[in-house]
Amino acid sequence: MDTFNHFIGICQDALFESVIQPVLYQLGLASVAEDAYDATLWLIAGILQIAVLVCVIGPLQRWRPVEAITDRRAVRVDILYTIIHRLGLFRVALFFAIDPFWDSIFGELHVWGLSTLQLDNLWPGVTDHPLVSLAIYLVIFDLVEYFYHRAQHNFEWMWALHAVHHSQRQMTMWSDNRNHLLDDVLHDVVIVIVSQLIGVPPAQFVAVVAILQLVESVSHANLRIGFGRLGERLIVSPRFHREHHAIAYEATPTGKVVGSNYAVIFPVWDILFRTARFDGRFGPTGIADQLPEAGGRDYGDTFLAQQWLGIKRLCRIRRRRRAA
């Protein structure tokens, strides 16, 4: 672990000094060099993730696909989402727009003497070991992801945005990042607050996010694979998560059609909170009202259309509530 961290540190220094820093100086942005150095770590993590997508998960999809890809345009849109998120473009925007706000908030708390919890110091000699602390952070963040994801399906205004993600009718390894940008901002606010409260070091935070994203890429892949009776209950598989994206005609009171398999990494949360379904059969994905017999609702074919329609759905909910 230490050797890997050292290698990543060398790559971060080299990329920043040879590429990022000269560009900043040319643009007169030397004042943001510190934030840009942190952002370089996200860029490296994204490059490594895309390499895994292309070199590992891609061949697996071609080996055992669930279905033939017929809508290449939709997949290209998902690739654009992935580039925006995995190569740090979205993260850089947060650095300049939101992160300074949270840094000032938690800075003030420290000035007032209100310190945050440092989980890796709970059991000196054990929890401060990099692999142990990483495992602890993964469990905590996966639980947070479970409840956030469940909220996206149980609050109508959150579903209005999250529907962008579920509108993909042909899921692939690129579909994980197909989200409304406002939804991503809200999600990242929650994750940043939790990371600050439990004292996650920056490098560990990047590692946790990268692992979560890679597991989600696998679980969204066009891959006809399950992990067996035991494995399916330990790690989220493509079969387990595809059931979450399955089209159904039965709608919940808020108009949603999905009510199971919310976990990102560990299905234990779905088992504990009674939302697990292990009988998935690699059926069609999407949202029920996209089907012609259900009205053929349009969720957008392009990045901009999907973003705009998400805002329109949100505004309609607000107007309806005000009228009521």
Contact predicate 230/236, CB 8 Å: no
pLDDT by residue (tens digit) across 151-165?
Answer: 999 999 999 999 999
Distance between CA 194 and CA 197 in Å, rounded?
A: 5
The domain of 203 spans: 1-323
Q: Give strand pairing partners of 246.
A: 285
Burial class (CB in 10 A: 0-12, 13-18, 19+), 299: buried
Quote the strand ranges of the chain, DSSP E. none
* The residue type at 34: E
**What is the token pair recorded at 44?**
């490296």
Please tell me the total count of domains within the chain: 1
Six token digits for residue 222? 């066009």
Helix (H, G, I), strand (E, B) or coil at 205: helix
Distance CA 8, CA 41 (A): 8
Q: Identify which of 109-113, 251-255, 284-288 has the greatest average pLDDT.
A: 284-288
pLDDT in tens, 204-250: 888 888 899 999 999 999 999 989 889 999 999 999 999 999 986 44
Give the Cα separation of 148 and 154 in Å (integer). Answer: 10
The reported pTM is 0.87
